[in-house]
Amino acid sequence: NKRVKNKRISRNIIIGSEAINLPPVGDPTRPKNIPDDHTKRWTVYVRQPPGDPSLTTWLNKVQFKIFSTYDNPLRTCENPPFEVTETGWGGFTVDVRLHFQPASGEKAQYRQHFLQLEKYGDEKMQARQEAEGVVRSEFLEVVQFNEPTEALYEALTSE
Ligand code: SLL
């Protein structure tokens, strides 16, 4: 696995979450089998920015470590969509582990994402979250490969 000297390649990903309110207990449209204290449905995700080349050229697998009281809190996504959907009542920090294609020889990289469930930001932002019925929180993350293997370099520069 020879490495390409003096080269650095970066790719962008979006790490984000979306949360919506669940219908209250007693509402006939509330999904069944959800604990009474859960007020939100949320999704945490890793996505490619619009217009970017395919993530899976270099990204092999994503693990999301969610709050320890959930069943099987280490959730593994071997294929897109790289996301986890759950219900709950409170926000917490999700550990996001990015695993790269084996030919890349790269070690996993770690990121964190705070699962924002409540409206946030200035008045205008909160008004939009209210109108859309969704609280979304997204960050652009840069993933850098320093002196990538020849295989990874090939894959990334031929796309
Ligand atoms: C706190 N940081 O300590 C927060 C923890 C945990 C939220 C929030 C339900 C989990 C489940 C849920 O929303 N937990 O049903 O297992 O206040």
Task: Dump pLDDT digits (tens) for 30-40.
Answer: 999 999 999 99
Which domain, by its residues, includes 109?
Answer: 8-157
Residue 1 confidence class, pLDDT cut points 50, 70, 90? confident
Please report, for the domain that includes residue 89, its CATH number.
Answer: 2.60.40.1970
pLDDT at 125: 97
Sequence-ordered list of residues with C-beta below 8 angstroms from that of 38, at least 6 positions apart, any chain = 22, 87, 88, 89
Measured from the Cα of 71, ligand 1's closest atom is 16
pLDDT at 8: 96
Is residue 159's pLDDT more than 80? no
CA distance 11 to 78: 19
| Closest protein CA for atom 17 of ligand 1 | 90
The answer to whether position 141 is within a domain reads: yes
pLDDT at 134: 98
Q: Cite the beta strand spans of 1-154 per DSSP E.
A: 8-21, 40-47, 59-65, 74-77, 82-88, 93-100, 109-114, 135-146
Q: Predicted ipTM?
A: 0.90
Distance of CA 29 from the midpoint of ligand 1 (Å): 23
Strand order in the sheet with 109-114: 74-77, 59-65, 93-100, 109-114
pLDDT in tens, 79-133: 999 999 999 999 999 999 999 999 899 999 999 999 999 999 999 999 999 999 9
The answer to whether position 55 is within a domain reads: yes
Q: In the predicted model, what is the mean pLDDT of residues 6-30?
A: 97
Q: In the predicted model, what is the mean pLDDT of residues 134-144?
A: 97
Number of domains in the chain: 1
Mutate to test the pocket of ligand 1, among 33, 42, 69 (most ligand atoms within 8 A of CB): 69
The answer to whether position 3 is within a domain reads: no
Measured from the Cα of 35, ligand 1's closest atom is 15
The answer to whether position 48 is within a domain reads: yes
The answer to whether position 2 is within a domain reads: no
Helix (H) / strand (E) containing 23: none
